[in-house]
Chain A
């Protein structure tokens, strides 16, 4: 019992394997193809560019044309992925969670509780659930606020939320508030959050 091989094989590999089975294989088996929840690739997610993405193209035609060209599934996919990269790179997900729980009145504050299905896609690999909420949850953020609000908020959070402790991200915008490539991507990504929830169109979700 107190020898090298026992420790390597039984404790080291054996106990790890049991935990791996229970914490990874079992949930994966439960979640795989659960309620027809097939994995959505980025192309599938970006089939229909969002109204917010279209609005960005109209409001900032020069910047948009320069960085993304026309509104299309391909350019929408590019913006979504880049937006997510910035969101990850700037560690946004360390202060904003992305799942709504069934407790603590969270459905009242943010909307329907999260289901496993809505995370089964390319923009949740790896997931960005987070473990801390300095700022509010963002799982239902898409469509809640206007593009203008987001741009003003990124440039100077305190201008729209006086007690905010969020850092400013003015370097994604010029002094007039015209977003650059990453700015457009970030707003597009935020406006996408929560929109894969099946069967509920955006317009319905934002009514109180």
Chain B
């Protein structure tokens, strides 16, 4: 089957299970609220207003775990799984393995998330950043102290892989469209990354060698799962909504292979100027800078695709989310190429700069792209038009402005912190200087939360009371500007 035909027409719609998409999108949005509220509460601790004092289960540290892990495993994984249920059948022309398995995966995954939350709240988190899901064992031993959530995640991931690898395998004689390259490789990487990051440092590698692996894990989770899924998603939805092919297929080939080769090599850059051997650090720095070149090819490809269709930024909310996300993506990755050098690292590592960077990539880029997908898919899933146009606009503007304020605020806070630390200022003075920035952060967080409630209410009301679905309202005109 011709990939371009699959993209441009409605071909393959009948193969899609809309119920599962709806369930995953909605669950993802709910866990995004959990993540955001937790992050907001955590930010209040920095201002002295944390509301749940003196409880060992509700201490602020636990809310940080909730914030990061629910954003990754609750929101992005659910969102990307929904995306896969739409994209894989349409591009391969094959159904996913089984709808029943899909239901099982959905409930198993939500159960895993709830168990993980229980673990964080009762001191059972694993000491691996972005992989705090409880192992169920005391560190380094096989004494059980909780449900082995990590093992369940592996089982869940294997089920997801089986679910989507079967249609991909059935289509193995076809030439794959670039989206499927990312999906195929990303699913393999997901399993390998999770196994490596959660097992090796915990039971096999202590200290600095383990740090090299946890650095690789943090990096691979973003680079080999979130990024391939995100890019694959963009390569599918942008041409679909714009109703024109991607600008350069060759450039997308370069982007894919360069991501596959360079991205995982940069893992150690999370622990620079550390006891990890210098040659490993230099390798990570060089390849991280190389990634910036790759990212540029991808971003150029997307913007050249938009050329001649600029009005789509006005007429299609999805395209607006995608392209604002793409601009943020370029900013984050450009920042990455600089901040990975030792010159920047000695100032900005350990400061809010890094926090700002992480917020822009997680909430400014991949979340924006997933919101774009929600904008486009939710009315189709519900067979209703969006309930409120103004809520859509509020959602967009609250997030765009809020994320940008947070990013710049934390970047400056990081510089202030970094230089004050270098200049041997008293630690209390560093905290006092940081306080205004933390106020701004909480303010921008409130904007983001308001935007989130706008979209949630809108999603709910659309499903309940939206007008009957009209395809034309959601498509960009075929003609050029």
Contacts and interface: CB of A to CB of B under 8 A. Distances in A.
B427 A127 contact: no
Given A16-B189, A101-B274, A128-B127, A5 B172 contact: yes
A162 to B, nearest CB: 7
A114 B212 contact: no
Contacts of B275: 99, 114-116, 119
Given A119-B207, A131-B354, A15 B139 contact: no
B309 interface: no
Interface string B418-458: 10011110011001100000000000000000000000000
Interface string A67-105: 000000000000001001110111111110101011111
A126 B279 CA distance: 22
Interface string B271-305: 10111110110011000000000000000000000
Nearest to B343: A103
Interface stretch (B58-66, B238-246, B364-372, B397-405): B58-66
A152 interface: no
Interface string A18-54: 1110111011101110000001000000000000000
Given A13-B188, A23-B267, A127-B208, A7 B176 contact: yes
Contacts of B334: none
Contact of B207 (A5, A18, A125, A135): A125
Given A22-B280, A127-B201, A88 B139 contact: yes
B144 to A, nearest CB: 14
Contacts of A19: 216, 220, 264-265, 267
30 contacts: A7-B181, A8-B185, A11-B260, A12-B185, A15-B264, A16-B224, A19-B216, A22-B283, A23-B283, A23-B284, A24-B213, A27-B277, A39-B206, A81-B138, A89-B124, A90-B62, A91-B64, A94-B61, A99-B274, A101-B273, A116-B208, A122-B206, A126-B128, A126-B139, A126-B201, A126-B202, A127-B210, A131-B354, A165-B46, A165-B48
Interface of B: 45-46, 48, 50, 53-56, 59-62, 64-65, 122-129, 138-140, 168-169, 171-176, 180-181, 184-185, 187-189, 192-193, 196, 200-203, 205-216, 220, 224, 253, 256-257, 260-261, 264-265, 267-268, 270-271, 273-277, 279-280, 283-284, 342, 345-347, 349-351, 354-355, 418, 421-424, 427-428, 431-432
